[in-house]
Amino acid sequence: MPPITLRGITVDFPFTPYECQKDYMSKVIECLQNKVNGVLESPTGTGKTLCLLCAALGWRDYFKDSISARKIAEKLGGAELFPDRPLSSWGTAATDGDTPMYYTDIPKIIYASRTHSQLTQVISELKNTSYRPKVCVLGSREQMCINPEVMRQESNHIKVHMCRAKVSTRSCVFYNNVEEKSSDKDIANSILDIEDLVKYGNKERVCPYYLSRSIKQQADIIFMPYNYLLDPKSRRAHNIELKGAVVIFDEAHNVERMCEESTSFDLTPYDLASSIDVVDKLLLEQARDTERGEVTADFNVESLNSELKLDITTIAKLKQILLDLEAAIDSFDVPSDKGITKPGSFIYELFQKAQLTFDTKAAILEALEQITGYLAGRPGIFMNTSGLQKLSDIIQLVFSIEPAEGSTGQHIEANTKQFKVHIHRDTSQHRKKQNTDVWSSSSSKKQAWPSRALTLTQHGHPAL
């Protein structure tokens, strides 16, 4: 099939395109040329994915050629390389005003869909085209880790902590091979989905997770699920740079709901009580070690783990913060099953009652990270640390944007106007379980389960 030309861009399409496909690709290219956002739709079965890929990659190739032409012209010092073809015929894509652009300025394409199975289909479509860009697909450790010791852990956050520990000590043989294999031209120039990467990793004994993050640096197009973009925590974790990138949301009717979910949370009584229980048991163990003379006065917890740099006072303070937060939430009178709803800014007032503020959040997060990382290597000795991990995620979300000096009030108002805080009776699955031991460590000495749960929900149309 010969290439087609749309808005001055040559597009290699694998089939003779329908008129609706030409129109769709023209609109994609128009958005890219004018640097504007676009919301495009087309009936099911009209090949939207193929149109998106071919139009975006065709435009990117043209953009790269434009920069090549300008670089040649600059080296010639104004002399005409092709006297019958002025530089302007290459288009204006190679400049941003009067500033020349070079290869490092060629935008990456970030292609996001709802699930990895959908991304697998997109990558399959790409293989059927003539385009052969450098490709990277991002996934989670859950999908891509091949270390047997890490994968046998039940909790995902424990897998994360164990993986990080092995990486930092270079005790994972698969991670240690990443640097060598990431320079392999065959892998860099292959179009691989997650399943392909895992097969390659098992064959070559190299970590697929960190390999994908390594080849991302040189990739022309990066595939990932929506939440990697929409969840600030995931975006930071995967070091995703949006500035100057072309971002494509396929099947975008789910985006608004995903935005709301990524910045909303439920904090249940079980999360808090299990967190208190874990910290309490850690304190008891440390106290026993202190009595045996195994811990120095400044308490570096050497007898437990040399990487746990918390003194016993800090851990006791963390327990008090958890107790205060539990008490603050449980103090509200909830007259009915509907609960009570307050403005989003109320979350800061509530957290302040437990000494959770912009000033204290860094130290609290560090303590939570130290404890969950340390206990990740000791499954079975302590209870599940998922509650502590959830609390850490919530603190990062609530205090994600630091206010400018002297502008706390305006900052809070601006960043919470699309949120609601809901305090309601607990309806979680743990509510029905009769496990009084979980709650026995709480200083409130409740005979029954605490009944209040806290929900922060984003509503309306989120600002992307």
Catalogue all structural domains in the chain, each as residue range(s) with its CATH number.
4-103 (no CATH), 109-254 (3.40.50.300), 265-402+409-458 (no CATH)
Gap between the Cα atoms of 322 and 442, Å rounded: 9
Looking up tokens 């400049």 gives 95
Residues 387-409 have a mean pLDDT of 80
Residues 178-198 have a mean pLDDT of 88
> What pLDDT, on a 0 to 100 scale, did the predictor assign at position 100?
45
Direct distance between the N- and C-terminal alpha carbons of the chain, in angstroms, rounded to an integer: 39
Gap between the Cα atoms of 202 and 174, Å rounded: 9
Gap between the Cα atoms of 122 and 356, Å rounded: 44
> What pLDDT, on a 0 to 100 scale, did the predictor assign at position 232?
76
Q: Dihedral sign, CA of 263, 280, 384, 367?
A: positive
- Residue 97 pLDDT class (50, 70, 90 cuts): very low
Which of 168-172, 196-200, 317-321, 406-410 is the least confident region?
406-410
Residues 422-435 have a mean pLDDT of 65
> What pLDDT, on a 0 to 100 scale, did the predictor assign at position 401?
76
Residues 190-202 have a mean pLDDT of 93
For the cut 90, the answer to whether the pLDDT of residue 248 exceeds it is: yes
**pTM attached to this predicted model:** 0.75
> What pLDDT, on a 0 to 100 scale, did the predictor assign at position 55?
96
Quick check: 278 and 385 in contact, CB under 8 A?
A: yes
Alpha carbon distances (Å) from 171 to 19, 160, 164, 200, 221 = 57, 15, 10, 21, 32
Within 13 Å of residue 382, how many CA atoms lie on the same side as its CB?
Answer: 26
Residues 132-149 have a mean pLDDT of 93
For the cut 50, the answer to whether the pLDDT of residue 393 exceeds it is: yes
> What pLDDT, on a 0 to 100 scale, did the predictor assign at position 307?
57
In terms of Cβ atoms closer than 10 Å to its own Cβ (0-12, 13-18, 19+), residue 44 is exposed
Whole-number average pLDDT of the chain: 80
Gap between the Cα atoms of 170 and 156, Å rounded: 21
Residues 159-175 have a mean pLDDT of 91
